[in-house]
Amino acid sequence: MADRTPRVALVTGGSGGIGKAVVERLAADGFAVGMHYAGNQAKADALAAQISDSGGRAVTVAGDVADEGAMETAFDDVEAAFGGVDVAVNTAGIMALSPVADYDLEQFDRIVRTNLRGAFVVSQQAARRVRTGGAIINFSTSVTRSRFPGYGPYVATKAAVEALTLILARELRGKDITVNTVAPGPTATPLFLDGKDEESIGALAQAPPLERLGQPEDIAEAVAFLAGPARWINGQTLFANGGLA
């Protein structure tokens, strides 16, 4: 008889934007989901209740992704609820844009702490905890290739995450765990839209050959692919950007 035990995913930054779409997609695919949030408990609880009301299984966990103790506890709590973790998806991140010459160094320290140290801490816990046959999925950005001015510090953290991910894939040789990065293009989330005028948003929407902004569900589809059937894709960065150069 086939094993009907649901696979389990832990999604950081799971209460908003791309993270929320990832949680909803994995839950729809039959995953039990541990949904991490940093500050908005009400939003996370509402999403967990929505999933439960639809017949799924979800719990919420909190904490700073850059705090190793908090992330150890988050993995502990998901394991206690569902028996283990099969997929770790690290969508948590912040973005603050400014030319390098004008960039505030305190803001630089914050973006490095969340985007790079946070990815490292979550990846470290995932490398120790994810079960055989599982997947670790980090997040980068397509701006590592498009190189828009003003994105320097943000892109620096994400390029480092790509390198970390590729090396971790090789370090987990023999464990049957895939490690990949998703690099979204312009995607209609609050993180992306904040601070941009209509003209800038319109120009970015026209940049891909498909001539639109990505939607969070487009990115969630890529994550679901890497979390599920894509067992022969490993140590790669998947650009989910509608063909943006």
Q: Which residue, among 204, 136, 195, has the nearest Cα to 171 in the 3D structure?
A: 136
* Residue-wise DSSP of 154-203: HHHHHHHHHHHHHHHHHHTTTS--EEEEEEE-SB-SHHHHTT--HHHHHH
Tell me the CA distances in angstroms from 166 to 8, 114, 128, 159, 219, one per residue in order.
23, 19, 17, 11, 20
Token pair, residue 173, equals: 């040789």
Task: Note if 154 is an active site residue.
Answer: yes
Q: Using CA atoms, how far apart are residues 84 and 185, in angstroms rounded to an integer?
A: 32
First and final C-alpha spacing in the chain: 47
Tell me the CA distances in angstroms from 118 to 104, 216, 241, one per residue in order.
20, 21, 24
Active-site choice (37, 103, 151, 154) = 154
CB 235 within 8 A of CB 180: yes
Distance of CA 156 to the CA centre of its chain: 17
Q: Using CA atoms, how far apart are residues 192 and 187, in angstroms rounded to an integer?
A: 7
Estimate the crossing angle of helix 152-171 against helix 118-129, to 10 degrees. Answer: 20
Active site amino acids: 154
